[in-house]
Amino acid sequence: MRFKVGLLGLGLTGLLSGCAGGVNIELYTDPHKYIDLAVHRERERIYEMFKKTVNMTLAHKTDFRVSETLKDGSTRDDRYSKKGAGFVLGNRYVISLHVSKPYQEDPEYIKSRNVAGYKINSQTTSIDGVAITLLEKDEGADFAIFHLPEELCRRYCNNGVELSTNFKPGERIFWLENPEAYGKELRYGRIASLPERIEVKGKTWRAFRVDLPFENGSSGSPVFTMYGQLIGFAIARKNGQGIVMPVSGFMRYLNVSQEGNRLIAERISDEGLAKLKSGPLEEKVRTITPTTR
Other CB atoms closer than 10 Å to residue 195's CB: what's the count? 18
User: Quick one: pLDDT at residue 26?
Assistant: 40
Residue 46 forms part of a structural domain: no
Closest CA to 53 of 18, 30, 13, 86: 86
Give the residue with greater pLDDT, 145 vs 292. Answer: 145
pLDDT tens digits for range 172-181: 998 888 766 6
pLDDT tens digits for range 227-239: 889 999 999 999 9
With beta carbons less than 8 A apart as the criterion, state whether 223 and 198 touch. Answer: no
How many structural domains comprise the chain?
Answer: 1
pTM: 0.74
Give the residue with greater pLDDT, 104 vs 223. Answer: 223
Give the range among 96-105, 198-207, 277-286 with minimum mean pLDDT: 277-286
Phi and psi at residue 179, in whole multiples of 5°? Answer: -60, -30
User: Quick one: pLDDT at residue 16?
Assistant: 34
Residue 234 forms part of a structural domain: no
Sign of CA dihedral 145, 78, 117, 83: positive
- DSSP helix/strand/coil, 248: helix
User: Quick one: pLDDT at residue 22?
Assistant: 39
Instruction: Give me the mean pLDDT over the 38-62 stretch.
Output: 75
Q: Is the pLDDT of residue 110 over 50?
A: yes
In the chain the first and final C-alpha atoms are separated, in Å, by 37
9-32 burial by CB neighbour count: b if 16+ within 10 A, else e? eebbeebeeebeeeeeeeeeeeee
Residue 94 forms part of a structural domain: yes
Q: Could you list the residue range(s) of the whole structural domain that residue 106 is in?
A: 59-152
pLDDT tens digits for range 217-261: 888 999 999 888 999 999 999 999 999 999 999 888 888 888 888
Residue 100 forms part of a structural domain: yes
Residue 199 forms part of a structural domain: no
Cα(20)–Cα(269) distance, integer angstroms: 39
Q: Is the pLDDT of residue 4 over 70?
A: no
pLDDT tens digits for range 123-173: 999 999 999 999 999 888 899 999 999 899 888 988 878 899 999 999 999
Residue 90 forms part of a structural domain: yes
User: Quick one: pLDDT at residue 21?
Assistant: 39
With beta carbons less than 8 A apart as the criterion, state whether 239 and 228 touch. Answer: no
User: Quick one: pLDDT at residue 183?
Assistant: 59
- Residues contacting residue 59 through CB under 8 Å, at least 6 positions apart: 83, 84, 85, 127, 179, 180
Residue 14 forms part of a structural domain: no
- Residues contacting residue 105 through CB under 8 Å, at least 6 positions apart: none
Residue 174 forms part of a structural domain: no
User: Quick one: pLDDT at residue 180?
Assistant: 67
Q: Is 239 exposed, middle or buried (0-12, 13-18, 19+ CB in 10 A)?
A: exposed
User: Maximum distance among all alpha carbons in the chain?
Assistant: 84
Q: Give the H or E element holding residue 146.
A: strand 143-147
The CATH number of the domain holding residue 105 is 2.40.10
